Structure 1
Amino acid sequence: MYDWANKIDYSLWTQHRDEGGRFRHMTMNISECVNSILKGVRNLPVCSLVKATYGRLAELFVRKGREAEAQLGTGQQFSQHLVKSIEANLKTSRCFTVTLYDRDNSEFTVSETTPTGSFSLGSYRVSLIAQTCDCRYFQALHYRCSHALACCAY
């Protein structure tokens, strides 16, 4: 078993090497997510558990669908949540110092000049062409994080 486990990349099966992203998804709080879904129905039989989960999801999709239709009806192109997130990222992006490293490939280093609350003072590599950032929000959420917005402004 030991030899077999050591042949597999550590980041795929050990928690101490988990950097928050597995298989292109953020996975650090997956247990909290599942626990919140199963809250109140955890001790039910499996069939009842599945029915309760299905019912909650059906209700969620109907509610979110109505919200999306209402927003599209008013002429909005993006959801309110996305717009608020981008606006928050724009405010945060003003606290960074941007250094261009590769003009041809649009690669930057972004250093924080003041603590923003979301991130500690540090440095992040950003590639606008590859749409990646060391904070991993750019890759996970598929819209520009505050570091990428700072590079765009630069």
Structure 2
Amino acid sequence: MCDWANRIEYSLWTQYCDEGRRFGNMTMNISECVNSILKGVRNLPVCSLVKATYGRLAELFVRKGREAEAQQGTGQQFSQHLVKSIEANLKTARCFTVILYDRDNSEYIVVETTSTGSFSLSSYRVSLGAQTCDCGYFQALHFPCPHALACCAYSRVTWHSYVHPVYRLSSIFSVYWMGFTPPIPEGF
């Protein structure tokens, strides 16, 4: 498992190397993912613990790989988690007024005209070119926050190009591509 984790770019799964980029819960809390796999087997002897962990990971990779493959087969481009987040952000983005300040660099001011619950009535600087927003979500999660989506709608550009490749189903499917060799039965 250590070899597998060390092949992943450290900025994607370690907080000390992430430079403020966390991709939501997708990659920043790998220890919680491992703990969920080990739930219920922590008190087993080491050999049984290793076998149970291996079996659970094999099941997880097969299930998640099939899910990603099925979603790709229907023509979906992004993970369901991302699509739900974007849909929620689009609803919120309807409550904003957008002012374009620099067309060449895609610099905007977004003014909230109605309280959305998650943001106060305020204004935010958004740079689509730099993929930043004063709210911090755009650069932390690497997909458009409600303010950035309002700017996309205002400028009639698609939000797809502002989403990090880690959210693409092709990236997700490649994670689960690895197969597992069935364990050797005891007694051999």
Fold conserved (TM > 0.5)?
yes
The count of residues paired between Structure 1 and Structure 2 equals 134
Query: Could you list the runs of 5+ residues in structure 2 that have no partner in the other structure?
Result: 1-17, 155-188
Unpaired runs of 5+ residues, structure 1, are: 1-21
Q: Distance in 2 between matches of 1:27 and 1:80?
A: 15
Identity percentage of aligned residues = 69
Worse-matched range after superposition: 34-43 or 58-67:
34-43
1:142 counterpart letter in structure 2: H
1:111 matched to which residue of 2? 111
- Counterpart mapping for 1:1-154 below 5 A: 23-26=19-22, 34=31, 37-38=34-35, 40=39, 44=43, 51=50, 57-154=57-154
Deviates more, 1:74-83 or 1:27-36: 27-36
How far has the Cα of 1:118 moved from its partner? 2.7
Q: Within 2, Cα distance between the matches of 1:69 and 1:63?
A: 10
TM-score w.r.t. length of structure 1 = 0.64
**SS in structure 2 of the partner of residue 98 of structure 1:** strand
Cα RMSD after superposing both structures? 3.7
TM-score (norm 2): 0.54
Q: Is the Cα contact below 8 Å between 2:112 and 2:123 reproduced in 1?
A: yes
Q: 1:38 to 1:78 in 2, by over 3 A?
A: closer
Residue 69 of structure 1 and its aligned partner are, at CA, apart by: 0.7
Higher relative contact order (CA 8 A, sep 6+): 2
Looking at structure 2, the residues matched to 119 and 100 of structure 1 have their Cα atoms a distance apart, in angstroms, of 21
The structure in which a higher percent of residues are strand is: 1
Asked whether the 8 Å contact 2:24–2:141 carries over to 1, the reply is no
Give me the whole-angstrom Cα distance separating, in 2, the residues matched to 1:66 and 1:111: 43
